[in-house]
Amino acid sequence: MKALVTGAARPGGIGAAIVARLARDGLDVETLDVEPGCTHQVDVVDGELPVLDHVDVLVCNAALTTMFGAAHSMRLERWQRDLDVNLTGTFRVMQACLGGMRSRGYGRIVVISSTAAVHGMPAQIAYATTKSGLLGFMKTVAAENAALGVTCNAVLPGMTASSGILGMPQDIIDAWVTTMPMGSLVEPADIAEAVAFFCGEAAGRVTGQALTVDGGHALNTMSVTSSAAPAKA
């Protein structure tokens, strides 16, 4: 079984964790990234993509995550770059793989979205918008290909201890951790496990679904009584 994971060149990132997890399941995993250290080094926006019609399992992970800007002030070129990478880049790679999946009557596509897609993300208007767009993308691809043995699902990571996040100032990381009900950030391996489920045979009848992995961050854990508050270790 041939798999492709985009955005997988960075050590310690979600993409690298997904590659390792799928390899443990016996998949032959290729990687695609704009950075060196991968199978195919290419810009998903406008680079010449390799032939990908042999891919059975596609994980669309490549995305910009640090294009900051608020709705009232974000420059148009920064907004456009987020759309180009996170939406258009994902579409280009998916389309390059989909024809082969449809002809073989088998395929697994997993899109890495974000909890920002459903909750918003102040100071990251373009990021939240593109990650929300990926959910509509996922639903449509799922609906168009359900009868052909091709599934499409999404994983929505919360605040994850990837190399990018861990490179932030420690006081910022500490502030994030205090908001996590489980007391720690999500690990890249947690995201990889969710991806592996969607890619496996057990999920053959699961399509058009979004799975959030955020350590309970989106839950309202506030309480009017101290006795009902979440237990602390």
DSSP 8-state symbol, 184: S
Strands 2-6 and 210-213: what pairing?
unpaired
Q: Is 120 left (phi over 0), alpha (psi -120 to 50) or beta?
A: left
Q: Which of 29, 127, 213, 217 is catalytic?
A: 127
Helix (H) or strand (E) holding 30: strand 28-33
Distances (CA, A) of 107 to 33, 48, 104, 150, 201: 21, 23, 8, 4, 11
221-227 long-range Cβ contacts below 8 angstroms, 24+ apart: 221/181
Let me know if 127 is a catalytic residue: yes
Catalytic residues: 127
